Amino acid sequence: MNKVQSEHLNNQLKDSSPEEVLNFFIKNYKNSIAFSTSFSAEDQVITHMISVIDKTVRIFTLDTGRHFQETYDILDITRNKYDLNIEVYFPDFNKVENMVNEKGVNLFYESIENRLLCCSIRKTEPLKRALHGVDVWVSGMRREQSPSRRNIQVVEWDDPNALIKVNPLVNRTYEQVWAYIRENHVPYHKLHDNGYPSIGCQPCTRAVKPGEDIRAGRWWWEMDGHRECGIHVPSPPSIR
């Protein structure tokens, strides 16, 4: 698998429906495909689609140790509703202990560098373990979610992990995602009902105000612009 192949596949599938995209990759890369879920509305839609196509597709999630209780609740609800095995990956406890003992339990409020360190230890490193041996990584990203995601493709090459990344919902709107959830009775994270359109770790997520961007509640104390953890969109050099 390489960048040229990903570009070819994107040209082939860029106008396909999410179900068609998932069907193609599940059929052709069955033994080397994995879907990462954070139980967002988008990820719940993809989980539902996968459950219809093939319940044996590998699904995993990252437990940072700082999640809302509602995130654990939707994990169990989803497992039970779809009869799926959702693997849970945790950060290296030694690295978490060293980080907290050196910089404090809430280090992420003090600087962007500290926040990115926390994201790296709690999310990026466990992700790399989860993706070991994987050729195709499925995610729930959409272009509409933020300026930093505006140019993502249905199929693209993920250089940090050296694999093909598939974003079946890339062209879908927020309204389309929620219409699918309602029409198909898809279980969703209950904090969505309380003004949380985007949900991450509890200390780094707040509800958004009317008229705010859907990701305004993520790392809200930082300056507007690049609000990413580094998993999906690499941090710009100036804040690495």
Give the model confidence (pLDDT) of 73-105 as tens digits. Answer: 999 999 999 999 999 999 999 999 999 999 999
Task: Give the Cα separation of 156 and 165 in Å (integer).
Answer: 5
The pLDDT value recorded for residue 231 is 63
Average pLDDT over residues 166-187: 97
Residue 239 has pLDDT above 50, yes or no: no
Name the CA dihedral angle for 214, 36, 62, 94, rounded to a multiple of 10 degrees.
-120
Tokens of 58: 């590998």
Residue 184 has pLDDT above 90, yes or no: yes
Average pLDDT score over the chain: 92
Identified catalytic residue from 119, 201, 204, 229: 229
Q: Locate all alpha helices (DSSP H) within the chain, ordered by sequence.
A: 3-13, 18-28, 41-53, 69-82, 93-103, 112-119, 125-130, 174-184
Residue type, 119: C
- State yes or no: is 201 an active-site residue: no
Residue 152 has pLDDT above 60, yes or no: yes
Residue 232 has pLDDT above 70, yes or no: no
Residue 229 has pLDDT above 90, yes or no: no
Residue 145 has pLDDT above 60, yes or no: yes
Overall pTM surpassing 0.85 (yes/no): yes
In the chain, the percentage of residues whose pLDDT exceeds 70 is 92
